[in-house]
Amino acid sequence: VDVAALEHAFDTNRDRFLRDWMELLRFPSLGGFPEREGDCERCAAWLRDWLSAAGLPAEVLSTPHRPVVFAERGGRPDAPTVLFYGHYDVQPADPLEQWTTPPFDPHLRAGRMYARGAEDNKGQLFAVLAAAATLVRNNALPGALKIVLEGEEECGSRGLYAKLAEWKRRLAADVLMVADTGTVPSGAPTITMGLRGVAFLNARLRGPDHDLHSGTHGGLAPNPALGMARLLTTLHRPDGSVAVAGYYDGVAPPADEERRLADAEPFDPAEYRRATGCDPAGGERGLSAALRRGFRPTLEINGLHSGYAGPGTKTIIPSEAEAKISLRLVAGQDPAHCLEAVARHLAAHVPPGLRLDIPERAVGGPGFRLRLDSRAVARARRALAGVSPQPTAFLWEGASVPVVSALAEAAGAEPILVGFGSEEDRIHAPDESFSVEQFRKLFLYAARFLSHP
């Protein structure tokens, strides 16, 4: 199937693709919220029906948590079997008041689709499904295709993890195709060569058993907000590195060729500032941006809350402070080991008079790096060559798709990650969007990748 024919197929079916994509975006399929369980089930059923109607016979498989949609279509035994992985769950949409249009009421404005999940991951997964459906209709799928769409990627993939061993035969494939990543800033087609792992913990410092008057008790009661500030400050050294003993155990440094390719990609601080509103002043001093993001772990605070948040003032010493902490880990680090190291560090640095507890901790998954000489990488480069005149870029990403390592291992497949996300998409934030042009490029790549083994 050549590019011109695929472009024609896209243009012919564009309105139908957009309409169906919008239907998919209407489900508030938040994976981690009990009150959204029904929405996740309805979203999974919709995907099953859509795939089946497209000639990709699908079913909804239950797990201990959110259901998984699984589709399978046979192919020539001599062509590699592809397993496509995506997730239909989305991040929470708050703060709601910062959305121009409601997060679950998709709107197309100036060529961009706005909705929670417009990019991550409903937009990207649906571009691949649309490509696969087009190939089925044209009888142009050479190898077998399996599709697995889970509903808990944003909160730890618990349901899929629980079933990986049981579904090993069902998932078996040669290549694990994932479209949950982005391109380099130039927009050149990009193969993501690595992802970071992730783990989480929530830390709580308790002082008084109720909020105290800050006049009567100021100078007597220990202040959990101040204590938490002091505790969190101990996590990093002034040079930006993580001060937790054992945190860097096992970190694999980049090979020379990896370092060369990573640093070859231009990084423009002015462009970064334009896209984010801030200078790239985070992370470790003295390392390039590409190395800091792709080859070094970080330790971030995602939420920090204590005391009064309303208008004006309230003169209290808060009874507690809570920090939501996440660890981004690189190939070679063991997430459970790092989580334990952080927990131990926190316990060893509790300020006087306060009590620490860690009510939640969870491992997402480890980081991983692809080999530059892999067969799947070569196949993706061939597919991308037809989509864009720009040369393909190689990116070692900072983000995580925690289940990818585990799924690749269970399926016996080589992972290949190509996506067309960009900074402009504002994933995980208000006004998330994905352009029809990004959708179209991913459609073309996926159709070429799937049709040319």
**CA neighbours closer than 13 Å in the CB half-sphere of residue 363:** 15
103 scored as a contact of a second copy (CB under 8 A): no
Nearer to a second copy, 84 or 200 (CB): 200
Task: Indicate the residue among 9 and 363 with the shorter CB distance to a second copy.
Answer: 363
Interface with a second copy (CB under 8 A), residue from 311, 359, 373, 389: 311
| Structural tokens at position 440 | 């179209």
**Shortest distance in whole angstroms from residue 382 CB to a second copy:** 27
278 in contact with a second copy (CB under 8 A): yes
CA 153 to chain centre: 7
Query: Which is closer to a second copy, CB of 64 or CB of 389?
Result: 64
Residue 32 interacts with a second copy (CB under 8 A): yes or no: yes
Q: Shortest gap between Cβ of 205 and a second copy (angstroms)?
A: 11
- Residues found in the chain: 453
User: Given candidates 243, 362, 385, 406, which one binds a second copy under the rule CB under 8 A?
Assistant: 362
User: In degrees rounded to 5, what are phi and psi of residue 376?
Assistant: -65, -35
Only one of the segments 49-57, 374-382, 405-413, 425-433 lies at the binding site for a second copy (rule: CB under 8 A); that segment is 425-433
| Interface of this chain with a second copy, residues 171 to 200, rule: CB under 8 A | 182, 196, 198, 200
**Torsional class of 138: left (φ above 0), alpha (ψ -120 to 50), beta (otherwise):** alpha
Question: In whole angstroms, what is the distance from residue 116 CA to residue 24 CA?
Answer: 11
**Whole-number Cα distances in Å, 37 to 159, 411, 431:** 13, 27, 24
Q: How far apart are the first and last CA of the chain?
A: 12
CB neighbour list of residue 290: distance below 8 Å, 6 or more residues apart: 262, 263, 265, 267, 396
Name the residue nearer to a second copy (CB basis): 17 or 434: 434
Residues 156 and 150: their CA atoms lie apart, in Å, by 11
Binding to a second copy in span 204-263, by CB under 8 A = 206-223, 225-226, 228-230, 232-233, 235-236
The only residue of 2, 166, 300, 357 in contact with a second copy, by rule CB under 8 A:
300
In the bound state with a second copy, the residue whose beta carbon lies nearer, of 2 and 360, is: 360
Q: Which is nearer to a second copy, 236 or 381 (CB)?
A: 236
Q: Which residues share a beta bridge with 73?
A: 145
DSSP bridge pairs for 417: 178, 192
Of these, 7, 41, 284, 424, which contacts a second copy (CB under 8 A)?
284
Encoded amino acid at 74, one letter: G
Nearer to a second copy, 245 or 301 (CB): 301
Tokens of 102: 């409601």
Q: How many residues sit close enough to a second copy to count as binding (CB under 8 A)?
A: 95
For the bound state, the minimum distance from the C-beta of residue 283 to a second copy, rounded and expressed in Å, comes to 3
Q: At a CB cut-off of 8 Å and minimum separation 6, what does 46 contact?
A: 23, 24, 27
Candidates 11-19, 57-65, 285-293, 370-378; binding stretch for a second copy (CB under 8 A): 285-293
Give the Cα separation of 336 and 61 in Å (integer): 29
Residue with tokens 């900074």: 423
38 Rama class: left (phi>0) / alpha (psi -120 to 50) / beta: alpha
Find, among 101, 87, 131, the residue nearest to 452 by Cα.
Answer: 131
The residue (of 212 and 447) whose beta carbon lies closer to a second copy is 212
Binding mask 368-407 for a second copy (x = CB under 8 A): -----------------------------xxxx-------
CB nearer to a second copy: pick between 20 and 320: 320
Contacts with a second copy, 116-155, as mask; x by CB under 8 A: --------------------------------------xx
Q: What is the pattern of x (binds a second copy, CB under 8 A) and - over residues 322-361?
A: -xx-x-x-----------------------xxx-----x-
